Amino acid sequence: MLAVVSMLLVSAGAVPGWWLLINAATVAAALVFERRGYQPRAPNPAALLRTGERFRDPTSGEIVEVWEDPATGAREYRSVSRQ
């Protein structure tokens, strides 16, 4: 439906076509790069130490534990059942 409305706006001259192309490219880039933000992983998993912090992840409902690399400050969240 959005594509149909967009085509009607462009054909009517209400919106320039390049504007819709820029917006479509922005949305496509956001969808591609968004997935990278949800899987934080430390560069060196062997250097991670437990911090003693635990909390319930609001998304999965699982109890997770915080691990941190003291040298870089990189943090990783691991499910307690995964250890």
Task: Per residue of the chain (83 residues), give pLDDT as tens.
Answer: 777 877 777 788 777 777 777 878 888 888 887 766 555 667 777 889 999 999 998 888 899 999 999 988 888 888 887 55
Residue 28, domain extent? 2-37
* Same domain (yes/no): 73, 46: yes
* Same domain (yes/no): 33, 52: no
* Same domain (yes/no): 23, 46: no
* Same domain (yes/no): 9, 32: yes
* Same domain (yes/no): 48, 17: no
Structural domains counted in the chain: 2
* Same domain (yes/no): 30, 48: no
- Is the pTM higher than 0.75? The answer reads no
Tell me the C-alpha distance between 50 and 44, whole Å.
14
Tell me the C-alpha distance between 37 and 16, whole Å.
33
Give backbone dihedrals phi and psi of 25, rounded to 5 degrees, phi first.
-65, -40
Strand order in the sheet with 63-68: 49-56, 63-68, 75-79
